[in-house]
Structure 1
Amino acid sequence: MRKDSPALSVVLPAKNEAGAVGATVEGIRSRLADAEVLVIDDGSEDDTASMAKAFGAAVISHPYSMGNGAAIKTGARHATGEVIVFMDADGQHDPADIPRLLERLGRGFDMVVGARSNDSQASVGRGLANRFYNRLASWMVGQRVQDLTSGFRAVKADKFREFLHLLPNGFSYPTTTTMAFFRAGYPVAYEPIVAGKRIGKSHIRLVRDGIRFLLIIFKIGTLYSPLKLFLPIAFAHFLLGLGYYGYTFTVDHRLSSITVFLWSASVTIFLIGLVSEQITQLMYKRER
């Protein structure tokens, strides 16, 4: 790091990562000697904490497992750097990529995400799921999201802390952070990386956490731009009503009560979305 660079903290959430955390911390310290390295031990049952300390990291331990997102929040609250790099402690993320993320951050971005290549996906199913999440999130925020769920990112600490109250305690913190930054109008960049194979067993469950990621996308979408969700639903009700009207008019030459209900629901849903949009705008301005 240059002398005029902002102070840097590297936060590694870790749960039962004794086999990899030491090498990860050593890799960070060999390249960024002045950086603050925080390992958040999320109730590990092995030697994660002692291994991290042995290689020069400061360790903050949770009394029991509170979740990956909770570890991220703990790290963000205790980090002293103006810039925070979040990365996994399981060996997937290469500390050699950190300087590239920081260099990109220095070009005027508030967050730089390490975007994994297709070859870096843990499995075909997870790769397909991530592509679906990326497309859905891109539509929700109106910007291209290249890697919604990557946990390797560099952020401006003050900007990141604005959204701590939104972060879940589980594995969905990257999803929430990405959506929140885009909707708040903070510039986000993506830097290509190659993620290695993790050491040890993954704590993510494809179906359970996949559904959670999906709910997070909709949650953040409704928080910042409700019409993105309400308008398509309202339009779908209108089209269903129109289609059913065409059917009943052709067969019985009448306007059915179901058609009236669907059209009324369409108008109601649209108005709810419109009011929600105005409320979120007022709330966001008040927070700012």
Structure 2
Amino acid sequence: MSKVSIILPAKNEAAALGALLPKLREAQPKSEIIVVDDGSTDQTPELCRRLGVRCLSSPYSMGNGAAIKRGAREATGDILVFMDADGQHDPHLIERLLSRLEAGYDMVVGARSREGQASIHRGLANSLYNRLASWMTGHKVLDLTSGFRAVRAGKFKEFLYLLPNGFSYPTTVTMAFFRSAYGVAYEPVPVYQRVGTVSHIRPLKDGVRFLLIIFKIATLYSPLKLFAPTAFLFFVMGLAYYGYTYSTVHRFTNMSALLFSAAVIIFLIGLVSEQITSLVYSKSRG
């Protein structure tokens, strides 16, 4: 029987952990539980000691992804379960993920419904992420950014070096699994109101982060799917502009030359990026 390690990245989540950890121990009495304290300033380490739960503390905040990587390295289980420490996930739902994993999948993700999103803003953003990831991979992606998932430890650890220290580790590992032809399944799960302070929308910062994630999704899986349409767009613009200038002044202008050159350069960058991506994933499995 496989050993299960449950990893909870936590930053100032003592209020939620006080109720969550006993429920988690009750639901998974044989599983290893690891709380990765990402530089908390509250009573998270003391709470874990009092409840007899292993706690890995960092002297300062390194990011959610860094906490995930540290927990995965320290875990001894054959199966890793990641869940948020803010009380949004029901520990009894872990069995549903594990049972799907036993059906032959390599990763099972707890998929939130639209009602389970933290806000309308995030719900719309996540919906766009899911559509883009589905187009890139050719598979239906129900929840690209969910932090509640069960995964086979050996396969997850292949991609540790790819994972960022910030908040987009679910995106990275999901696209890496699809790229490597590992089986991914989605299990619909309810999400509850988080305990503690609700994060506020920051239009500028969240907007930049949104665009970065969009490009990251594309370049992680198949860069040519992003660069080829862009190159084609520049080529069409150059052709249209050349048609306009030829019909009006009977000239081939510098702008047309620039647009055609940009199309060729972008396409070649896409080809090189595609080769680099293939080498990266070959390295991770080698």
Please give the range of the TM-score, normalised by the shorter of the 2 chains: over 0.9
Q: Which residue of structure 1 aligns with residue 259 of structure 2?
A: 262
- Greater CA deviation, 256-265 or 229-238? 256-265
8, 15, 20: which one aligns with 1:12: 8
Please tell me the residue identity of whatever aligns with 2:7. V
Please tell me the residue identity of whatever aligns with 1:248. T
What SS is found at the alignment partner of 2:56?
strand
135, 139, 146: which one aligns with 1:139: 135
Aligned length: 284
State the Cα deviation string for residues 23-65 of structure 1 (Å, max 9, x = none): 2111111111100000111111111122223233111111111
CA distance in 2, matches of 1:70, 1:53: 22
CA distance in 2, matches of 1:159, 1:214: 28
Please tell me the residue identity of whatever aligns with 1:285. S
Quote how far apart the aligned CAs of 1:205 are.
Answer: 5.3
Quote how far apart the aligned CAs of 1:286 are.
Answer: 4.3
Please tell me the residue identity of whatever aligns with 2:226. L
- Greater CA deviation, 180-189 or 132-141? 132-141
- Greater CA deviation, 165-174 or 35-44? 165-174
151, 172, 175: which one aligns with 2:171: 175
Contact 1:84–1:156, Cα closer than 8 Å, also in 2: yes
Please tell me the residue identity of whatever aligns with 1:120. G
Contact 2:176–2:220, Cα closer than 8 Å, also in 1: no
Identity %: 61
Q: Which residue of structure 1 aligns with residue 160 of structure 2?
A: 164
Matches within 5 A, 1:1-288: 4=1, 6-202=2-198, 207=203, 208-209=205-206, 211-212=208-209, 214-219=211-216, 221-287=218-284, 288=286
State the Cα deviation string for residues 146-180 of structure 1 (Å, max 9, x = none): 11111000011111111111111111111111111
- Greater CA deviation, 17-26 or 34-43? 17-26
CA distance in 1, matches of 2:187, 2:170: 15
Please tell me the residue identity of whatever aligns with 2:144. L
What SS is found at the alignment partner of 1:19?
helix
- Unpaired segments ≥5 residues, structure 1: none
Please tell me the residue identity of whatever aligns with 1:9. S
Please tell me the residue identity of whatever aligns with 2:120. V
Contact 2:175–2:221, Cα closer than 8 Å, also in 1: no
* Alpha-carbon spacing, 1:190–1:183, altered in 2? closer, same or farther (3 Å): same
Contact 1:22–1:54, Cα closer than 8 Å, also in 2: no
Contact 1:223–1:280, Cα closer than 8 Å, also in 2: yes
Contact 2:144–2:170, Cα closer than 8 Å, also in 1: yes
CA distance in 1, matches of 2:181, 2:211: 22
What SS is found at the alignment partner of 2:37?
strand
CA distance in 2, matches of 1:221, 1:210: 17
- Unpaired segments ≥5 residues, structure 2: none
Contact 2:125–2:210, Cα closer than 8 Å, also in 1: no
- Greater CA deviation, 115-124 or 256-265? 256-265
State the Cα deviation string for residues 237-267 of structure 1 (Å, max 9, x = none): 0111122122223322333221122112212
CA distance in 2, matches of 1:203, 1:115: 21
State the Cα deviation string for residues 56-87 of structure 1 (Å, max 9, x = none): 31111111111111111110010000000000
What SS is found at the alignment partner of 1:60?
strand
* Alpha-carbon spacing, 1:174–1:107, altered in 2? closer, same or farther (3 Å): same
